[in-house]
Chain A
Amino acid sequence: MNDTPNSFRNQPDDRGHFGEFGGRYVAETLMPLILDLEKHYRAAQADPAFEEEFNDLLQNYVGRPSPLYYAESLTEEVRKDAPEGKGAQIWFKRDELNHTGAHKINNCIGQILLAMRMGKTRIIAETGAGQHGVATATVCARFGLPCTIFMGATDVARQKPNLFRMKLLGAEVVPVTSGAATLKDAMNEALRDWVANVHDTFYIIGTAAGPHPYPELVRDFQSVIGKEARAQMLERVGRLPDMLVAAIGGGSNAIGLFHPFLDDPDVKMLGIEAAGHGLDKEHAASLAGGGPGILHGNKTYLLQDEDGQITEAHSISAGLDYPGIGPEHSWLKESGRVDYDSATDKEALDAFQLLCRTEGIIPALEPSHAIAAVTREAVKMDRDKIILANLCGRGDKDIFTVAEALGTEI
């Protein structure tokens, strides 16, 4: 569409813009703080001790590197329905094996180290599925900082196990009742808390969105996924995968997987949004069904009406139930480098069960959307092709939701 840039990996510019997206759309009260955060982040990037501590915690506390796994049984299952000679190999990056059960912890480790460098003594975060809330509560427990987690009341009800985990970890969880009482509303409330407590509080944003420098630093912390996967692929099969697939809520696990591969022209990438009940009904696919707008500190694709009022998202997966997307994805879509597609609640539920049965892995509902897309794509690709999907979370937290959706009582 646009002129192809020399590199897809040198965004954002120094004002935090990814093309026309991103930026710093925050109240003046927060502006000095995010400028200060940027300054500290630059200093941390230049400090080998920061990287060393980050890597040490990822290795010994989180359990990285996460395995790269060839899902042979799923591949065989998919091949049964594939035309002759088709059915690509399906591989998973096993970030669901991380401590706390999702990729969210990678980012939380990075941000809490930054918070401590800045001398902040209190942590806040928003959470949807509760995975980011649990990861934040975990690092706060580890480093002895008090934390307050904002969670939509709807999500509190549908992610009870994570609610309890956060409490066990010592976090205060504040149920948010405004709006549809989901992730967007939790983020509004976190921003309100932050603006009133700028002097001592650090906001650990859970996805690659928000005002600059958050989209950049969350991406950088999550890029450990793609860096490991790239090296592991080269070591195991001696070449890069043909396609990467990841589910997209705000887009942090996806950008973490994609970014290290963006300048490998032969690697295709597919981000999967949540199509909810269907793209013509209620859904959470802001790229497919939204347009550019400004919310939560950045310019990006949003679900909105013609007056710029934000419309409610819907997904069976609390972690994807957000009417926006990180700004780098908006830019990658417009630049044509990454393709975006979607999967419905039903497709995700089917894929969830398929993975349980074929691989003995219970995935979270978020990556189940990616798995649904993988099965769709694999049957179209030759058998010697490789699809690598990000298995970014485990499904323990979702068993109640899935049971209800399947009409089973537990």
Chain B
Amino acid sequence: MTDRLSQSFPADRAALVAFVTAGDPTPADTGAILDALVEGGADVIELGMPFTDPMADGPSIQEADIRSLAAGTKTADIFNMAREFRQRHPDTPLVLMGYANPMTIRGSDWFANACVDAGVDAVICVDIPVEEDESLGDALRAKDVAVIRLATPTTDAERLPQILNNASGFLYYVSVAGITGQQQAAQASIEEAVTRLKAGTDLPVAVGFGVRTPEQAADIAKVADGVVVGSAIVEIVGEHGKDAAPYVRDYVKSLSDAIRTAREI
């Protein structure tokens, strides 16, 4: 499983990691939007599990979660989306991202099995830090589902080894202390952080939070192994609803093109 993920971070350019909220605007629309991400050039897909209380998210993703839940999205629907995606795109890694309660409510083993069953490669849980890893991580690792860790500007040198211990897939650097969809960090601080993180791990380091424009994506692509874009895509879905797929594809392509040429300039 993890292979699909590691192969998506090529040596010669940064990977594009694209996030959308599952079931936004309705469960029936997500398939086409996921296809648009792949067509646009995303290397890794993060499928957000909507939650009633997305404490780490800014307004864009909060609203997406509300739209999705209002449309009746259930956990079973999300795994169906993943399963169908896997059939259509056997080589594109799919990461589930979300909050602890929907992931653990039926028990961590249930969740890990459902991930395997649906072809999910990795999981990012926003509110399970290493201190509570056993409530989900053990079950996922036992099934070879990667547990992606987050590092943040507040993660100091003393804490970093704890985070890297048992991390797999890639390391997600949350470049600003804050919620999703707000301002972007200064390029210098991102560079400094990536250098520090790469000294501690062989895992690819992907950088996200606040990335919106192809220019920003290209800047990060010069120094990191991956660029994560979320809120900006979710906002396009918010604006165009059921008709969002082509807009999403075009936008993602603009990011992907920028990333692909970033290191040439």
Q: Chain A: residues with CB nearer than 8 A to chain B?
A: 15, 23-33, 178-179, 184-185, 188, 191-192, 195-199, 293-297, 299, 302, 304, 306-311
Cα A7 to Cα B191 with chains together (Å): 52
The 8 closest A-B pairs by CB, nearest first: A308-B105, A196-B178, A308-B101, A308-B102, A294-B100, A29-B152, A310-B52, A28-B150
Whether, in the assembled complex, B12 has its beta carbon less than 8 Å from a beta carbon of chain A, the answer is: no
Q: Mark B54-71, 1 if CB is under 8 A from A, else 0.
A: 111110001000100100
Could you show 26 A-B contacts with beta carbons less than 8 Å apart? A24-B129, A24-B131, A27-B55, A27-B126, A27-B152, A28-B150, A29-B154, A30-B154, A31-B159, A32-B154, A185-B53, A191-B56, A195-B56, A195-B177, A196-B178, A197-B177, A293-B101, A293-B105, A294-B101, A304-B105, A306-B105, A308-B51, A308-B102, A308-B104, A310-B52, A310-B53
Asked if B81 CB lies within 8 Å of chain A CBs, one says no
- Decide if B128 touches A195 in the complex (CB within 8 Å): no
Q: What 0/1 pattern do residues 89 to 118 of B give for CB contact below 8 A with A?
A: 000000000011111110000000000000
Q: Is the CB of B154 within 8 A of A198?
A: yes
The answer, yes or no, to whether B132 is at the interface (CB within 8 Å) is: yes
Which of B62, B74, B159 is in CB contact (< 8 Å) with A32?
B159
Which residues from B are CB-within-8-Å of A294?
A: 99-101, 104, 127, 135
Which chain B positions have C-beta within 8 A of A195?
55-56, 177-179
Contact assessment for B132 and A24 in the assembled complex, using a CB-CB cutoff below 8 Å:
yes
Q: A297–B127 Cα gap in the complex (Å)?
A: 8
Q: Which residues on B sit within 8 Å (CB–CB) of A297? A: 127
Residues of B within 8 A of A (CB): 51-58, 62, 66, 69, 74-75, 99-105, 126-132, 135, 149-156, 159, 163, 174, 176-179, 182
**Chain B residues with Cβ under 8 A from A311's Cβ?**
52
A309-B52 in contact (CB<8A): yes
Instruction: Report A-chain residues with C-beta under 8 Å of the C-beta of B178.
Output: 29, 195-196
Min CB gap A18→B, angstroms: 14
Total A-B Cβ pairs within 8 A: 117
Complex interface: chain B residues within 8 A of A185 (CB): 53
Please state if A191 and B101 are interface contacts (CB–CB under 8 Å): no
Q: Which of A25, A191, A310 contacts B128, CB < 8 Å?
A: A25
Given A25-B127, A28-B129, A198-B154, A184 and B105 contact (CB-CB distance below 8 Å): no
CA distance A31 to B130 in the complex (A): 9
Report how far A311 CA is from B155 CA in the complex, Å.
Answer: 33
Beyond contacts A23-B132, A31-B159, A196-B176: 5 other A-B pairs, Cβ-Cβ < 8 A, are A24-B131, A24-B132, A32-B159, A191-B56, A296-B53
Q: Please state if A25 and B132 are interface contacts (CB–CB under 8 Å).
A: yes
Please determine whether B53 and A184 come into contact, CB atoms closer than 8 angstroms.
yes
Q: Which residues of B contact A296 (CB under 8 A)?
A: 53, 55
Minimum distance in angstroms from B54 CB to a CB of chain A: 8
Closest to B98 in A: A308
Q: With a CB–CB cut-off of 8 A, which chain B residues contact A28?
A: 129, 149-152, 154-155, 163, 174
On chain B, the residues within 8 Å of A308 by CB distance are 51, 75, 101-105
**For residue A31, which residues in chain B have a CB less than 8 angstroms away from its CB?**
129-131, 154-155, 159
CB distance from A172 to the nearest CB of B (A): 19
In the complex, the answer to whether B55 meets A23 with C-beta atoms within 8 Å is no
List chain A residues, Cβ under 8 A from B100: 25, 294
Closest to B101 in A: A308
B149 neighbours in A (Cβ, 8 Å): 28
Q: A33-B154, A310-B101 are in contact. Are A192 and B131 (CB under 8 A)?
A: no
Question: Could you tell me the distance between the alpha carbons of A198 and B177 in the complex, rounded to whole angstroms?
Answer: 8
Indicate if the CB atoms of A307 and B102 lie closer than 8 Å: yes
In the complex, what residue of chain A is closest to B176 when comparing beta carbons? A196
- B132, A29: Cβ atoms closer than 8 Å: no
User: When chains A and B are docked, how far (Å) is the Cα of A82 from the Cα of B256?
Assistant: 77
Q: Give A95 Cβ to nearest chain B Cβ, in Å.
A: 30
A28 to chain B, nearest CB (A): 5
Give Cα A302–Cα B100 distance, bound, in whole angstroms: 13
Cα distance A30–B156 in the bound complex, in angstroms: 12
Q: Which residues on A sit within 8 Å (CB–CB) of B104?
A: 293-294, 308
- A196 contacts B177, CB within 8 Å? yes
Cβ-defined partner of B150 (8 Å) among A27, A295, A299: A27
Q: Which chain B residue has the least Cβ–Cβ distance from A307? A: B75
> Which of B131, B159, B179 is in CB contact (< 8 Å) with A15?
B131
Question: How far does the alpha carbon of A262 sit from the alpha carbon of B66 in the complex, in Å?
Answer: 42
Contacts of A192 in B (CB 8 A): 55-58, 179
Closest residue of chain B to A302 (Cβ to Cβ) is B101
Residues of A within 8 A of B102 (CB): 307-309
Known: A302-B101, A304-B105. A29 touches B174 (CB 8 A): yes
Taking each of A297, A308, A310, which has the highest tally of chain B beta carbons within 10 Å of its own beta carbon? A308
